[in-house]
């Protein structure tokens, strides 16, 4: 397997990103959607921030004021026995997550060569509504005609749903609200109509029974989704045996729709694999990776905010090479070039 990681990795670090306000710090800039706009490569970064405390024993919680759209900060004592602060990423009460200690928004980074990026100072898409009150995360960008459609995870106390926005210039955005109710995430749109319908890969998360696995849905207008069908599931004792979900927007190839997806094992080690879907019926799996084509190996992938993670939300097909942009260790952005045939070589075709 040939995976050529850029010598400039990480291509976006936390130090490259200005906090949205002076009393916040950037924890991560990662899991970016990718698009080509004119002569630029666009990354739409997930920027995770947290308020900075100057008092020992204090836990700060960013909160959205839905009336004003402003972010307020709630202050808790780490001695408060009502809460469990053992995981620094969130606050739990009676075994249930009730607050996040950080908040994510989406930020544009631009590049002329696809490697060296300049990150804009201001957020592009910021939490605005009650269903985004805990942040907006992990965008995917699909170009359909002259428009770029952005699906993203909308997090709140109600769970994680799927938001949709569109832009024609990555300056102004039209927001369509939540198109799939919680719990659902890792949603990406196919880049063209198939027949007379739009298609999307989804990842519902059942809580009574079942597992976080990949589904497919269809729509007449990108807003109303139906005919939800199971696509593929976890494989016990495998690299994708713990959880899985779509990664990059599907790429059209002669053999089928190539979709890069992430899989995690039971130890929460995230790798990247691929699935090939039928061009005319994307609900039909033709072949699937028997092994990852990329695993966390570089230092910036193994060590970080949440180590042992490679997680892609966007890739470009450049000739016979897949250029995959990916979040590493839930902290930074990196890029790698992988020959298309090397990815295809990991696939095992399904028996008819």
Indicate which CATH number applies to the domain containing 153: 2.115.10.20
The predicted structure's pLDDT at residue 67: 83
Could you tell me the pLDDT band of residue 350, with boundaries at 50, 70 and 90?
Answer: confident
3-state SS, the chain, equals CCCEECCCCCCECHHHCCCCCCCEEEEEEEEEEEEEECCEEEEEEEEEEEECCCCCCEEEEEEECCCCCCEEEEEEECCCCCCECCCCCEEEECCEEEEECCEEEEEEEEECCCCCCEECCCCCECCCCHHHCCEEEEEEEEEECCEEEEEEEEEECCEEEEEEEEECCCCCCEEEEEEECCCEEEEEECCCCECCEEEEEEEECCCCCCCCCEEEEEECCCCCCEEEEEEECCCCCCCCCCEEEECCCCEECCCCEEEEEEEECCCCCEEEEEEEECCCCCCCEEEEECCCCECCCCHHHHCCCCCCEEEEEEEEEECCEEEEEEEECCCEEEEEEEEHHHHHCCEEECCC
The predicted structure's pLDDT at residue 10: 98
The predicted structure's pLDDT at residue 92: 96
CA distances in angstroms from 172 to 36, 197, 264, listed in the order given? 16, 27, 35
What φ, ψ does residue 340 adopt, rounded to 5°?
-55, -40
Do the beta carbons of residue 278 and residue 311 sit within 8 Å?
no
Give the H or E element holding residue 38.
none
State percent of the chain over pLDDT 90: 95
CA–CA dist 167, 36 (Å, integer): 13
CA–CA dist 158, 153 (Å, integer): 12
The predicted structure's pLDDT at residue 284: 98
CA–CA dist 219, 224 (Å, integer): 6
Do the beta carbons of residue 116 and residue 148 sit within 8 Å?
no
What string of DSSP letters covers 209-261? SS-S-EEEEEESSSSS-EEEEEEE---TTSTTSSEEEE-SPPEE-SSSEEEEE
> pLDDT tens for residues 286-303?
999 999 999 999 999 999
CA–CA dist 199, 144 (Å, integer): 12
User: What tokens were used for 211?
Assistant: 């597992």
The predicted structure's pLDDT at residue 139: 98
Give the H or E element holding residue 185.
strand 184-189
- Mean pLDDT over 234-241 rounds to 95
CA distances in angstroms from 173 to 65, 160, 167, 280, listed in the order given? 21, 21, 5, 31
Cα Rg of the chain, angstroms: 19
> pLDDT tens for residues 127-141?
999 999 999 999 999
- Mean pLDDT over 160-187 rounds to 98
The predicted structure's pLDDT at residue 316: 98
The predicted structure's pLDDT at residue 54: 85
Could you tell me the pLDDT band of residue 232, with boundaries at 50, 70 and 90?
Answer: very high
The predicted structure's pLDDT at residue 352: 58
Could you tell me the pLDDT band of residue 274, with boundaries at 50, 70 and 90?
Answer: very high
List the domain range (segments joined by +) for residue 69: 4-349
When divided into structural domains, the chain yields a total of 1
- The mean pLDDT value of the chain amounts to 96
Could you tell me the pLDDT band of residue 24, with boundaries at 50, 70 and 90?
Answer: very high
The predicted structure's pLDDT at residue 69: 86
| 64-68, 139-143, 172-176, 183-187: least confident range | 64-68
The predicted structure's pLDDT at residue 344: 95
């Amino acid at each position: 397997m040939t995976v050529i990681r850029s010598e400039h990795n990480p291509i976006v670090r936390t130090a490259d990103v200005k906090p949205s306000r002076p009393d916040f710090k950037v924890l991560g800039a990662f899991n970016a959607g990718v698009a080509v706009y004119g002569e630029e490569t666009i990354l739409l970064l997930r920027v995770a921030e947290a308020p900075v405390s100057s008092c020992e024993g204090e836990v700060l919680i960013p909160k959205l004021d839905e009336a004003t759209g402003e972010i307020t900060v709630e202050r808790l004592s780490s001695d408060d026995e009502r809460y469990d602060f053992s995981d620094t990423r969130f606050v739990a009460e009676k075994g249930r997550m009730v607050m996040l200690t950080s908040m994510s928004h989406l930020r544009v980074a631009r590049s002329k060569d696809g490697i060296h990026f300049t990150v804009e100072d201001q957020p592009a898409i910021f939490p605005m509504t009650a269903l985004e009150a805990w942040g907006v995360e992990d965008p995917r960008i699909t170009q359909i005609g002259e428009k770029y459609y952005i699906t993203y995870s909308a997090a709140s106390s109600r769970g994680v749903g799927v938001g949709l926005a569109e832009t024609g210039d990555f300056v102004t955005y039209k927001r369509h609200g939540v198109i799939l109710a919680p719990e659902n995430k890792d949603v990406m749109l196919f880049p063209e109509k198939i027949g007379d319908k739009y298609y999307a890969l989804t990842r519902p998360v059942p809580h009574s029974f079942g597992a976080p696995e990949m589904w497919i849905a269809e729509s007449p207008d990108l807003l109303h989704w139906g005919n939800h069908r199971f696509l593929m599931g976890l494989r016990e004792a495998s690299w994708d045996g713990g959880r899985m979900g779509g990664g990059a927007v599907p790429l059209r190839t002669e053999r089928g729709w190539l979709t890069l997806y992430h899989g995690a094992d039971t130890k929460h080690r995230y790798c990247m694999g691929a699935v090939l879907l039928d061009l005319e019926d994307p609900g039909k799996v033709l072949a699937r990776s028997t092994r990852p084509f990329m695993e966390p190996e570089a230092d910036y992938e193994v060590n970080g905010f949440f180590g042992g993670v490679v997680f892609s939300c966007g890739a470009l097909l450049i000739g016979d090479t897949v250029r995959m942009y990916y979040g590493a260790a839930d902290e930074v952005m990196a890029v790698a070039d992988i020959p298309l045939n090397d990815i295809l070589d990991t696939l095992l075709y399904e028996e008819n």
